[in-house]
Amino acid sequence: MLREPAADDRAALVELMASPEVHAFLGGARSREEVERALPTEPARRPGLFVVDFDGATIGIVTLDRRDPERPGRGGGAIELGYLLLPDVWGRGFAVEACAAALRWLDDVLPGEPVVLTTQTANSRSMRVATKLGFVELDRFEEFGAEQWSGIRRA
């Protein structure tokens, strides 16, 4: 289930943000202390920020945000899909299922809006998720010392 963040998601969100495995292709994790300090007690809520809930357990987040036009690569200013799941649930199809639901939500609120996503080419799980969701290559570029792949999904 996708839902808005609640106060008792905090522990799982700290786990997610401080996990070296989750951030292996995202420039490395921040320390648990740093994440604890940075994360507000009352979670931020905005349209396009979803917690992924599986049978009452918080297992990750899916985001739809405008990509900063100052960032390298094509697709600046477009809506960008992001996804992070806790490692113990990887490989069970949750990422594809959760992202597809978020994209359906977007198709309802902003019909016709294209969506981009960016991932390191070395992040093979994430590349697979992008392909399964129907994203096609838009660009490849270097950022954070690694090759990045950006894909686009036209409505």
Ligand X SMILES: CC(C)(COP(=O)(O)OP(=O)(O)OC[C@H]1O[C@@H](n2cnc3c(N)ncnc32)[C@H](O)[C@@H]1OP(=O)(O)O)[C@@H](O)C(=O)NCCC(=O)NCCS
Q: Which residues bind ligand X (CB under 6 A)?
A: 22, 25-26, 82-85, 90-96, 119, 123-126, 128-129, 132
Report the half-sphere exposure of 125 (CA within 13 A, side-chain side). Answer: 17
CB of 23 within 8 A of CB of 94?
Answer: no
CA distance 69 to 116: 12
CA distance 125 to 84: 11
For ligand X, the closer of residues 39 and 101 by Cβ is: 101
CB of 64 within 8 A of CB of 80?
Answer: yes
CA distance 102 to 66: 15
Least gap, CB of 118 to ligand X (angstroms)? 7
Least gap, CB of 140 to ligand X (angstroms)? 15
Tokens of 61: 């987040």
Residue type, 52: V
For ligand X, the closer of residues 43 and 87 by Cβ is: 87
For ligand X, the closer of residues 41 and 59 by Cβ is: 59
Least gap, CB of 24 to ligand X (angstroms)? 7
Least gap, CB of 17 to ligand X (angstroms)? 11
For ligand X, the closer of residues 64 and 84 by Cβ is: 84
